[in-house]
Each structure stands twice: as C-alpha cells, then as structure tokens.
Structure 1
C-alpha cells in the first residue's frame, strides 16, 4: 500500500496511490509504504529517484547500518515501533529515508517510511494531524512527531501494565490464593513482564534514533528543543519500567510463596497422618506376633482391647496436634 501525505491549510491529507501517474498530482511531505509491492517500489524509484535498499526491513543489521547519511544527502534510519497486541506483542521494524536534496524545489523535503504492517504511532499521528492544524510543517516535523507518538504509545501501554498488575495484586494479596488462581496470576505476570521488557527495548531504540537526528544537525532550533523534550520523556519512562520490573518480581515471589504454602499444607496432612497411624501400626505389629500366650486366644476381651488400644493411640496424637494448632 502506497500513501502520500500532503499539507493543505496546515492540515495533513492522505491519498492512496494506485498508479504512477497519480504521484504527479501531489507534492507530499511524507510517503508511506506499507507492505510495498514491487510495482510501488518501482514507482517511487522512477518518480522520486529513490532506490529502497533491499535490506531496509532486515532485523539483523549492525548499528552502523541502522543510522547513517548518504553522500547525496539522504538520511537513513531504521527504528523499531511497539505494537502492544495483547495476544502477540512485538516490535515492527520501520525504515525511514529523509530526502532533503530537493527541499528548495519541493518546499518541505520528503520523508519516506517503509514497514511491513500497520503501526499504532502512525495512526495516532494521522488522527492528530487531521484535527490539529499547524501541527506539522515539514518532513522533519513528521519524523519527530512519529517518535513522539511512539513514546506516548509506550507510556499508555505502561499504564495498562500498571492496571493489570494492580488486579493481579488484589488476587494475590487479598483473596485465598488457590493453585488455579496462582497459575492465572503467574500467566498475567509473565505477559506483563514480556510487555515491559519490550517497552524498555523500544524506548532504548527510539532514544538512539532521536539522538542520531540531533547529531545530524538537520534540525532547526525549535525542532532541536522538541527532540530534547522527547528524550526527556523517554528518560522518564525508564524509571517506570524499572519500578514495574521490581513490582513484577515481588508479585512473582509472593505467588510462588503461596504455591509453596499450598504444597506444604498437603505435605503436612501426610506427615500428620503418618505420625498418627504409627502407634496403631506398632500395636498391630506386636499383637500379630506368634506368642505362646495371647489375650485374643484365651480372653474374651482380647480383640476389643487390642482394637480400642489402636484407636486410642491414633486419636491421642490427633488431639495433641489439634490443641497445638498444627491442623489449622
């Protein structure tokens, strides 16, 4: 899918391109390629003179290949954007190419973005740009707002993690934690720990991209200050992710502790039963020996006495354990 974004009266307008001829009708500041087809890549190459690198979407590339500037003035940035899907959270690799060579001719320069799936930060920027006139002025503003939107999306996801962990805390600390509840809480904690780790990685990656923009000296004074504000927002998210890691570890330890307590209760029942049944077993063993004179054979009270003694020897330890509170 090939979309071009133009500015009109301070608002951002989106147009979906379906042929090479349609590109000539617009002077965009942003060209977005989502799962681009070979034809769409060819249109971009023919009309804008931009050849999209074959490794633009590769995951395994060195840092030097993720942030660099070409001799012709093109700026290349590969950055990961968070997709906080509840079932399959992930990072989506986005390749940015900033073309400022023809900035005087085109008016604002052009930002090209290439990615394989929809990114929430992109949708957030499109929605805001339509509602807020004057939000964007050029391609560099678009790139900064995308990074700002990614930071805000990470912050919103952190708030959702706070809410999920709060519900898990109530289950662990207030209710009677059964094995089933503990397994559900552990599953919730594992999901939120994975999400928190992805947010921390996403924050680190966005910070590196913004820092590269600032070092490139392509930003004016106002944009440079905006980039510094984005870095401050990203730094504030680090403290939240650290706190959440500590909270997750606490809940994990508490939940595992309750599981151990439940298991110890079961082991305690077996221990009490084995101790209580030891005296009757001893008595039965003694009376089962082949003595020459046995009360069971010569006296009528032999068997009742033996049975009563075994019952009494089993009840006495149980009474003692109950009095000491070991059966609670």
Structure 2
C-alpha cells in the first residue's frame, strides 16, 4: 500500500492515488509504503527510478549498513514501536531521502506514521521539506516512547503496592512475575529504540544536510532521549528490586512449608518411639499382662504428640 503526501501551506495533505501518474503530477514530499507489493515497487521504480528496500532484508541487518549515503541518496534504518501495549514490539523502517522526497518502507502500519499527517502543531509553516517530516517522525517516536514509559511506571506502581502491602500467595506471585517480565521487555524495547534514534539523529547531523533550524530540532530530540535514558535506567533498577522481593517472598513461602514438615516430623517422633518400644518382645508384655496396657499406651502416644505441638505453637513455629 502506498500513502503519498504533498506539502500544502506548511502542512501535509494526503494524495489520492488512482494511477502511477498521480505520483509525479502531485509532487509529493513523503511516500510511505506499507508491506509493498510487486506492483507498488514497479510504480516507484518507474516514477522515480528507485529500488525500494525489501522489508524482509531489514531484519538482522548489520550495524554498519544501517546508515549510509550513495547515489545521491541517504539511507537510514530505524526501529519504531508498534504500539503502547505491554506486548508491543519494534518494527524496522527503511528511510530513503532522494530528490527532496522521503521514502519510508515497513512491513506493518505504525501509529507514528498514520498520526503524523494529522499533526499540525498549530503552525501553518511547520513543514518545509522532507527532512522536516523525517525529523518529526523521530520526534513523535520519542514522544511515544515517553508515553509508554509512563504506562510502565503506572504498572510497576501497582505491582509495588501488591508486593509490599499485601500477603502474596504463590499463584499471585506468579502473575506478578509475568507483569514484571512484560514491563522489562517493554522497557528494553524503548531503550533500544531511543538508542537507535540517537544514532540516526547523529548520522543526520554529520551528513550536513540540515538547516540551522533543523539542527536545533534534532538537538532538542537528543535532549529528550537523554532524559528518557535516566528513566529507563531507573525502571531497570526498580524491576530488579521487585524481582528480588518476589523471589524472596516465594522462598519464604517455601520455607514455611518445609518448616511445617520439619516440625511435624519432630513432633511425631515420640509416639513412633513409644509404639516401637511397646512392640518389642518382653517376657511380660504390658498390653497382654495388664488390662490397662493398651489404653495407657494410646494415652502416652497422644500426650507425646499434643505436648510437642503445643510447645511449638507457643513458640510460633506453626503460624
């Protein structure tokens, strides 16, 4: 699918594409291609003599091939968050700056890309060229990462209250561990994305293609990324603390079970000893030569159980 946008009074306007000639006649500054088909590639090739990167070639790309210049084209590969959900993941996007047109190629639709044309920022001349669009996409990705971090903060705050202010069962602790693992996964994705965005911004600054105003914008993005780094580091520390706390609670619960079995086995040793003694072969067996032999043996065994359990209960070992 091809989404093309032209510049109108400093704002992006979407072009309705019915034929290949609509691309050239409307002079777009941004062409966004989602999951390109062979026909989409043919349109771009015939209209702009450009071979679009294939999305399947964007996976596991070498670090040295993520940003480069060649044939009067600027190529960038960046990761963008797919959404704000706890299961959100990163999607690699290929950018190509060629002939004052920004081409973007990705396999899945991203919230940053379909929200960007709806953003006017209250300034009629906010967008001047395709580089402004690229910079703004990176800026919105950083903002999305900040929003997701706020959600992670809220989720971990709820987890903290459950861990520190309530008695956790093993089943509840397992669900809490799942929530913490999801928060750690999302926090790691954000940290990776902002690191990738910082590299892309640094490459743009070194390319010397940006105007002074655009340089100010990318410096502001770098400052925002630096502030997010501190938050992600804090969240990693908090996640580690909660993991240690929950594991300690699980160990304490297991120790309670082991202690109960240990106390029970010790308390049941006296009646077993008495039963074994009464089962020995004496010359005069108490249970046969004394009419109260059996009742006395049973009473003695009961007392040998009750007294240790009462002592252990008073010491709090059974609580």
Both proteins in one fold, TM over 0.5: yes
Which of 275, 279, 283 aligns to 2:266? It is 275
Structure 2 counterpart of 1:64: 64
Work out whether residues 57 and 94 of structure 1, in 8 Å CA contact, stay in contact via their aligned partners in 2.
no
Which of 157, 171, 176 aligns to 1:166? It is 157
Structure 2 counterpart of 1:313: 304
Work out whether residues 53 and 105 of structure 2, in 8 Å CA contact, stay in contact via their aligned partners in 1.
no
Using the size of structure 1 for normalisation, the TM-score is 0.93
Structure 2: state its 5+ residue gaps: none
CA–CA distance in structure 1, aligned partners of residues 268 and 18 of structure 2: 84
1:47 deviates by 1.4
Structure 2 counterpart of 1:152: 143
Report the secondary structure of 1:24's partner residue: helix
1:151 deviates by 0.6
Structure 1: state its 5+ residue gaps: 101-108
Deviations 1:143-185 (A, max 9, x none): 0000001111111111111111111111111111011110110
Report the secondary structure of 2:68's partner residue: strand
Report the secondary structure of 1:31's partner residue: strand
Segment of structure 1 superposing worse, 22-31 or 192-201 = 22-31
Alpha-carbon RMSD across the aligned residues, in angstroms, is 1.6
Deviations 1:56-84 (A, max 9, x none): 842122223211111x3211111111123
Structure 1 counterpart of 2:27: 27
Using the size of structure 2 for normalisation, the TM-score is 0.95
Structure 1 counterpart of 2:75: 76
Structure 2 counterpart of 1:220: 211
Structure 1 counterpart of 2:39: 39
Aligned length, in residue pairs? 319
CA–CA distance in structure 2, aligned partners of residues 91 and 16 of structure 1: 29
Work out whether residues 55 and 105 of structure 2, in 8 Å CA contact, stay in contact via their aligned partners in 1.
no
CA–CA distance in structure 2, aligned partners of residues 139 and 253 of structure 1: 48
